Amino acid sequence: MSSTLGDDHVYPDLDRLLLDLERVSAVKFGDFTLKSGIRSPVYFDLRVVVSHPDVMRRVAGALWRARHPSARVDVLCGVPYTALPLATVISVEEGMPMVIRSGHGNDEE
C-alpha cells in the first residue's frame, strides 16, 4: 500500500512544522499543569490545527512517523476530541481502518 504520509521514521521538516505550530498558536510557553498532573513549560494545543489543513496533515504525518519502526498497526483509534481529526487524516491517507472511542461512560453508543 502506498503511503502519502511517508514511511521515513524521521520527520524531515520538523523545524518548519514547529514554526508553523507556533504561527497558528498551537504551541504555548509558560507554566502548565497537564491532565496527568505533570507540570510542563510547553503546551501543544492541537485543537487549533483543524483550522489549518496543511498543518494538520503534517502533524498527522509526524505522528504516523513517530510510531515504533516495528509496530504493527491494523486499526487506528481516534480518541475525542483532539486526536479524532488527526486519526482521521492518518486513516484516510494510509487507507487504514479507524474506530472511535466514545467519550461517554454509557453503553448507549
Per-domain residue ranges of the chain:
14-100
CB under 8 Å to 92, separation ≥6 — which residues? none
Over residues 27-66, the pLDDT tens digits come to: 999 999 998 999 999 999 999 999 999 999 999 999 998 8
Residue that wins the pLDDT comparison between 81 and 20: 20
- The whole-angstrom separation of Cα 84 and Cα 104 is 15
Secondary element (H or E) of residue 29: strand 27-33
What pTM does this model have?
0.77
CATH number for the 14-100 domain, one of 3.30.70.100, 1.10.10.1110, 2.40.110.10, 3.40.50.2020? 3.40.50.2020
Task: Say if residue 84 is exposed, middle or buried (CB neighbours under 10 Å; 0-12, 13-18, 19+).
Answer: middle
CA angle, corner 43, sides to 38 and 18, nearest 5? 140
